[in-house]
Structure 1
Amino acid sequence: MHRERTPEEDEVYQLLITLIEKLEQEYYQQSQENNSLSMLLFILKESEKSRDDLVSVFGVEDLVNNILNGQEKINT
């Protein structure tokens, strides 16, 4: 990224930046109230982890259940 690019590479680089920004605006709006929860669910799905994996991290099943049910907020 910090080396000198050809004009073609620079165009592709700018296109990637534009596409990433568009994706973030459409799917990861900070104004969404459940953004942290939706991000957590997305990460769990993509990493093929489950609720039980979270319980093993937090050690408290009720806390994990409350987070996944939206009853407990995730601080970011």
Structure 2
Amino acid sequence: MTLIFNSDIYSQLLSYYQPRIIKTEEENEKFLEIVEELLARPNLSPEEDALLELLVKLIEDFEGNHYQLNASTPHSRLLHLMEAKGIEAKDLVGILGSIEIVTQVMSGELEITQEQAEGLGEFFHVEPSLFIYN
């Protein structure tokens, strides 16, 4: 089944949440709360998914510019998303391949492949690039 993107619903979400370039820590915290709220929902609509991707990108840009010393990594992003969604290692076996691989990825011993990143992106409703080192 193909879900259809409804521009009117997306416009309503944009109007309600008012995403914009993040300039302050307070704005960053506000958008982080919205991301966590969206991640807590069991099934996002295509419009909510698009809003989530936009917010994650805005947060990533702000944090990349303001927290260079503690820059997030694909590993830390995965752990954050897992914690926010209440996901356990066993829940990622189907995406990453085995519990051993999941454990190595979670510990930072193993980098995430492009194929795994795409699976994680779909699973968490975020851009796969979040899980790849640039």
TM range (shorter): 0.5 to 0.7
Match of 2:91 in 1: 53
Q: Give distance in 2, aligned partners of 1:38 and 1:71.
A: 12
Match of 1:26 in 2: 66
Runs of 4+ in 1 over 6 A off after TM superposition: none
What's the C-alpha RMSD, in Å, of the aligned pairs? 3.3
Task: Render the CA deviation track for 1:10-45: whole Å, top value 9, x for unaligned.
Answer: xxx6xx522455444335x5x94x610000000001
Unaligned runs of 5+ in 1: 3-12
TM-score (norm 2): 0.36
Fraction of identical pairs, as percent: 23
Larger relative helix fraction: 2
Unaligned runs of 5+ in 2: 1-10, 12-17, 28-58, 114-131
Name the amino acid aligned to 1:26. Answer: H
Match of 1:69 in 2: 107
Q: Give distance in 1, aligned partners of 2:63 and 2:100.
A: 34
* Structure possessing the higher relative contact order (Cα contacts under 8 Å, 6 or more residues apart): 1
Structure index of larger Rg: 1
